[in-house]
Structure 1
Amino acid sequence: MAASSPGTIYEAIGGAEAVRRLVEAFYPKVQAHPLLSPIFPEDITPVMEKQYMFLSQFFGGPPLYTEAYGHPMMRARHLPFPITPERAEAWLACMRQALEETVEDESLRMLMLERLSGPAYHFVNQP
């Protein structure tokens, strides 16, 4: 497994443990959200593991997702799910709450949310 680069978001938030805490704080919010829960499976555990792997890589940590599944191709992987602008906003709202619970540094939270906003809206495939 490759080490993360110095000065990454991954390192700044505390590495693997911090990403795991973020994912564990995030998915109960997703499951409780009326717009999001219908597009997620009841057994959220595999989704959480993939998200952990992806976010580790996305924020500059080891390329866990690519090692396990190949290139992320996230837009293509999300095409089967009806993602509206409202669902993208709901996803980001849940992530914002999870970040507030797990990342102390406000500027780091804002940076992470900003980085996630592009992909969240890029996955929109429904009006």
Structure 2
Amino acid sequence: MSDQEQQSTPTLYEWVGGAPALETLMAAFYRRVRQDDVLAPLFANMPEDHPHHVAMWFGEVFGGPATYTEQRGGFRVMRAQHVGKDIAPEQRQRWVSLMLEAADEVGLPDDAEFRSAFAAYVEWGSRRAMANSRPGVTLSPRTTTPVWGWGEAPPGID
């Protein structure tokens, strides 16, 4: 991609509709989680503001403002939320499935480029969360929040 294409390509955060769209997504997603036999036990002690915090995280990861880092402490805090939870593979898979269903429910952009990038992050992030949740895990030295992009398929290029 040329420098001009990179400068004119919106971030995933802009493409999805910013914070309002992510807040709507997380509200719908966590409604599903609370009713799900596989995930409800994992989130039984979830604070009421958890969906908002996850929306902030997704916003930052998708190239929006660094609100999660500024208000919540960033990557180390997010990673710490998973330590010791021992997330099972079926819980991770269900988390991904419900997130993709919620994306459809709330009408996130459904173009192939966005959904590919969105699904890739959801898959990657859920696998990192599961790995970080294992008892006795040695955590990576990473300290910065990842910023997810379009990957191989930016918008407007067929």
Q: TM-score range by the shorter chain?
A: 0.7 to 0.9
2:21 corresponds to:
18
Matched, 1:111 2:117: yes
Distance 2:83 2:12 in 1: 28
User: How does 1:12-91 map onto structure 2 within 5 Å?
Assistant: 12-41=15-44, 44-73=47-76, 74-91=78-95
Aligned residue pairs, count: 123
For normalisation by structure 1, the TM-score amounts to: 0.85
State the secondary structure of the residue aligned to 2:49: helix
Distance 1:66 1:97 in 2: 27
CA-CA distance at 1:26 after TM superposition: 0.6
Question: Where is the helix percentage greater, Structure 1 or Structure 2?
Answer: 1
- Does the 8 Å contact 1:100/1:109 carry over to 2? no
Matched, 1:122 2:128: yes
User: RMSD of the alignment, in Å?
Assistant: 2.1
Distance 2:118 2:60 in 1: 13
Instruction: Extract structure 1 runs of 4+ deviating beyond 4 A.
Output: none
The worse-fitting range, judged by mean Cα deviation, of 37-46 and 65-74 is 37-46
Distance 2:103 2:126 in 1: 16
1:100 corresponds to:
104
Distance 1:77 1:105 in 2: 30
CA-CA distance at 1:120 after TM superposition: 0.3
User: Which structure's CA Rg is the greater one?
Assistant: 2
Gaps of 5+ in 1: 1-5
For normalisation by structure 2, the TM-score amounts to: 0.70
CA-CA distance at 1:109 after TM superposition: 2.2
Distance 1:29 1:99 in 2: 12
Gaps of 5+ in 2: 1-8, 135-158
Q: Could you give the per-residue CA deviations for residues 58-91 of structure 1, whole angstroms, max 9, x where no partner exists?
A: 1111111101121222333201322011111010
- Does the 8 Å contact 2:33/2:39 carry over to 1? yes
